[in-house]
Amino acid sequence: MIAAGFVVALIYVLATQPDYVQALLAPIGCDPKQPSSACSGFSLKGVLLAAGVLTLFTLLLWFIRLQMKLYLAERHLALDAREREAFAQSYLGLVREGDVSEEAKEQRALVYAALFRPASDGTVKDEGGLDPSVTAALAKFLMKP
């Protein structure tokens, strides 16, 4: 919602205040109403403003991505917990029956394995980023079929 609000506010400012935006981006001493050769290019203030907006938007998207990964991990663990609860109920039912046959022992072993398996949060570990060395990047490129 915050990212959508940021984008809407940015579009609103760009659409309703074009003169103000042009004045922010234009070099110092340039009159937007009377363009001349001094008005070509961007001012340092304009470049810093654009870089700041892009940096803010990038951080906002990164935060949204992080929150989505956390939400999906929590959802995956909740599903896993529900499955384990069902296995625990099954185990309690098997124990209440008091059956000591081989089949009951096999069923209990299956339930034990399901209850005490390692839990995964379901997230893909892709936080490695880009490899800074050119040779490693070239090797990865050449290894692709």
Instruction: Tell me the pLDDT of the chain (145 aa) as tens digits.
Output: 777 788 888 888 878 877 777 777 777 667 666 666 566 666 777 778 888 888 888 888 888 888 888 898 899 888 888 988 888 888 888 778 877 778 877 877 888 787 787 777 766 665 555 555 666 666 666 676 6
Encoding tokens for residue 59? 């951080």
Give the end-to-end CA distance of the chain in Å, rounded to a whole number.
41
Of 64, 67, 63, 116, nearest to 87 by C-alpha is 116
Of 57, 55, 46, 44, nearest to 10 by C-alpha is 57
Encoding tokens for residue 61? 């998207």
Burial of 26 (0-12, 13-18, 19+ CB in 10 A): buried
User: What predicted TM-score, i.e. pTM, was given to this entire model?
Assistant: 0.56
